[in-house]
Amino acid sequence: MFLRIIVILIIILSPAYADDKSKRSIINSIFENIANKLENLSIFSDDSNIEATITGGEKMKPIGSISVVSPLKQTEKTMIFNQTQINNYFVRGDDRQALNLGFGFRQLSNNNQYFLGINSFYDIDIESNNRASIGVEYFSSPFSANANLYKKISGAKTVGEFTEKALSGYDLNLVGQVPYLPWASINYTKYQWDKIDASKSSKGNIFSSTLNLSPTISLELGVDDNNIDNTNNFVTLMFSFPPKNQSILKDNFFSEVAYEKSDVSKDMLIKVKRSNKIVLESAAAGVVISRLN
Q: What domains does the chain contain, in order, with CATH numbers?
A: 47-289 (2.40.160.160)
pLDDT of residue 186: 96
pLDDT of residue 10: 47
The beta strands (E) that lie in 29-93 are given as 49-57, 60-74, 78-91
d(CA 115, CA 96): 35
DSSP 245: S
Res 166 pLDDT > 90: yes
The CA distances from residue 17 to 68, 94, 159, 167, 245, in Å, are: 22, 12, 20, 28, 34
d(CA 127, CA 158): 9
Query: What is the pTM assigned to this prediction?
Result: 0.83
Residues 28, 16 contacting (CB under 8 angstroms): no
Mean local confidence (pLDDT), 117-123: 97
Mean local confidence (pLDDT), 14-26: 49
pLDDT tens by residue, 185-234: 999 999 999 999 888 899 999 999 999 998 899 999 999 999 887 788 99
Give percent of the chain above pLDDT 70. 81
Query: 105 pLDDT band (50/70/90 cuts)?
Result: very high
